[in-house]
Amino acid sequence: MENKINYFYIILAIILLLFVVGILSLSFGSINLSPIRVLKILFFDQEVRQSLNVIIKQIRLPRVLLSFLVGAGLSIAGVVFQGVIRNPMVDPYIVGISAGAGTGVTIAIVLNLQISFLFFSTIPLMAFFGSLITVYIVYNLAKTKDKVPVVTFLLAGVAVGFVLNAIMSFFMVIGTRDLSKIVYWLLGSLSTASWHDIKLMLPYFIVGNFIIIFFLKDLNLILLGERDAQHLGVDVEKSKRFLIIGASLVTASVVSVSGSIGFIGLIVPHIARMLVGPDHKKLFPTAAILGGIFLIISDDLARILLAPMEIPVGIITALTGGPYFIYLLRKTKKEIW
């Protein structure tokens, strides 16, 4: 019972935090506004100056929203991959899944495969296939009998990542006219965020999350070991397949608009786990919101630190996440979960 109350307060607290961070992020920038004024613009349309209206609603709001979605998505993917592979050192970036999605996007840009059908466009779709193929390869490379050891998984991820980077470079050289576009995208940046980006990624993001939520309960049981899970009535192979597809969809949707932003999917699930424990029904929303907050703040720093110049946000997350990753590696496996 105590746990439930705790969980309720934790969720309430981080939602409040999200709101505060969101409003503050909308307030700061080249023109600083008071948070109250921002609220007025957002909710009461009480702004006479059209330019401010545009800045908040057309420039800053999509950027903050997209930061949230990207951060949440990467964290969710991290939670799922860590659960399925039963390995807390996994994150879409480290094991090359982001690189897989990136390769898909690069190919799409160079071969000019940008088509849109209904709400679904090809760039996230290519990213999805790229990430799915990468997961498949990395997972099977790392698998020994019925276990997926941490070390082999990381090594397989790094190795596949190298190959994918080579492929990306190759396509970049071929398609020189799109070079700047790709490089920009590769650095992992949210500076071009627009409502269009949100429209582009949202359908995949939603579908992916639906799949994950549908199989979320199984993830707790899989954590006990695949045999135990099966004995408790889980069709493990099926659940794993769908969870990986769902997480790949989410990763792909995110990567196709933001480029590869690293380490969020590693750090945030870990922090969330410390807060609410390993139960995925609690972990999933907690990690999602925390991930969103984390990226909104990172993006604020990216905008503010060297203003008016912008640092690609991937650099900020890597600078915080890298050391954290090393710290996790140093700890014994047991204590991480």
Distances (CA, A) of 163 to 67, 102, 156, 157, 318: 29, 12, 11, 10, 21
Q: How far is the CB of 238 from other proteins (least distance, A)?
A: 9
Contact (Cβ atoms closer than 8 angstroms) between residue 252 and residue 127: yes
Closer of 197 and 226 to other proteins (Cβ): 226
Minimum distance from residue 270 beta carbon to other proteins (Å): 12
Binding mask 171-210 for other proteins (x = CB under 8 A): ----------------------------------------
Query: Which CB, 159 or 336, lies closer to other proteins?
Result: 336
Can you tell me which residue has the tokens 């982001």?
Answer: 98
For residue 6, give both structure tokens.
């705790």
- Of the two residues 49 and 334, which places its CB atom closer to other proteins in the complex? 334
Q: Inter-axis angle of helices 216-223 and 61-85, to 10 degrees? A: 40
Q: Does 333 bind other proteins (CB under 8 A)?
A: yes
Distances (CA, A) of 37 to 40, 42, 56: 5, 9, 10
Given the complex with other proteins, which of 191 and 220 has the nearer CB atom?
220
Q: How far are the Cα atoms of 20, 69, 110, 335 from residue 330, in angstroms, in the given order?
A: 35, 31, 41, 11
Site for other proteins in 242-301 (CB under 8 A): 273, 277-279, 281
Q: Which is nearer to other proteins, 63 or 273 (CB)?
A: 273
DSSP class per residue in 45-97: -----HHHHHIIIIIIHHHHHHHHHHHHHHHHHHHHHHHHHT-TT--TTTTTH
CA distance 124 to 72: 17
Q: Which is nearer to other proteins, 3 or 53 (CB)?
A: 3
Find the binding residues for other proteins in span 204-243 (CB under 8 A).
Answer: 214, 217, 220-221, 223-225, 227-228, 230-236
Counting contacts by CB under 8 A, is residue 8 touching other proteins? no
Residue ranges in contact with other proteins by CB under 8 A: 2-3, 214, 217, 220-221, 223-225, 227-228, 230-236, 273, 277-279, 281, 333-334, 337
